[in-house]
Structure 1
Amino acid sequence: MSHLSDAQLQELQNTLLEEKKDLEHHFSANGEENTALGESLTDSTGDLSTVDNHPGDLGTEVFERERDLAVNDTLNDELDQVNQALGKMEKGTYGVCEVCGQDIPFERLQAIPYTAYCIKDTPEKSLRNDRPVEEQVITPPPTGAGEGRQEYDRRFDDADAWESVEEYGTSNSPAMAAKRDVEDYDDGM
């Protein structure tokens, strides 16, 4: 016996069917083969070659393609969950947590109609915190590199270059100086 009333079940079923319709429309509007983006990069971009005038253009295309794959993968998982929820409705097991077997509150089902878990038993989704293997072989930057490095190492670098060059005056001749009646290169500034 379900803890949900017939009206609540009908509302949730309508929400799930609407969600399913929207997800299926996404895949049909983008072409069924586009769910896995099976076409080649040259076909999807419409270019004759993947070698373009600028390497950044190809990088942008690859980024966009990877993003589309991730979005399609997420939406495909959501469609599977919606179909599973509709199947549970037919079997009469909808609204029951798969872990503890307790009833999932109606308010939670309104928020996430395809959920299979109560709040307490929802699996955690966390970002991976492992670091790229490349970081194990990269030489660390020198001490004091970055912001405020001149305060610590007092070596000559590009920031000091302008001050050194400025001591020599400009490349203007006395005739081209901004001031009138200049006879020396140092006075022309």
Structure 2
Amino acid sequence: MSEEPTVEAASDFAGVPDAFGRLWVPHRMAYIGENKTVDKSGPRCPFCTAPGKQDADGLIVHRGALAFVVMNLYPYSPGHLLVCPYRHVAAYTDLTGDEIAEIGALTQQSLDVLHRVSDPGGFNLGVNLGAVAGAGIEAHLHQHIVPRWRGDMNFLPVVGQTRALPQLLEDGRQLLQAAWDE
């Protein structure tokens, strides 16, 4: 007598890494599910409101003519910076040539400052365009500059659902801002 094959529920495998090395992190849905899209006027957009605040309150490291550099409120690593145009635009193709040039120059200067302040072993640079591409705030374009060190990611995000950051945002902002014009 043969047994009927059983179908295991998908929930039996939730949280188990698969052959592709996926790690299921359902606790991130609370962050992903937040309504971070804003209308074209951008009244609630954090990248539109930050320039109107004092540098420390807006986490601003440097202000340019067309764009600014700000600490990421939810950093992947210490010194995680964002370069944002002042203008509320979502698409890279909507930037002017001058905005593209200044964002590029501020990115170069950010890399130089981060090298001098914290000597990372490398960087991740990126612009996530659209929610499906990973943009947490898709209505206002911003470039990520993420400093990386060998061994900077450990077991805590996997086991403890916790990211250990050894530096407070304001401490990092002050160091970077002080080094900006050196």
Whether the TM-score (by the shorter chain) exceeds 0.5 is no
**Greater share of helix:** 1
TM-score normalised per structure 1: 0.22
TM-score normalised per structure 2: 0.23
**Greater share of strand:** 2
Rg: which structure is higher? 1
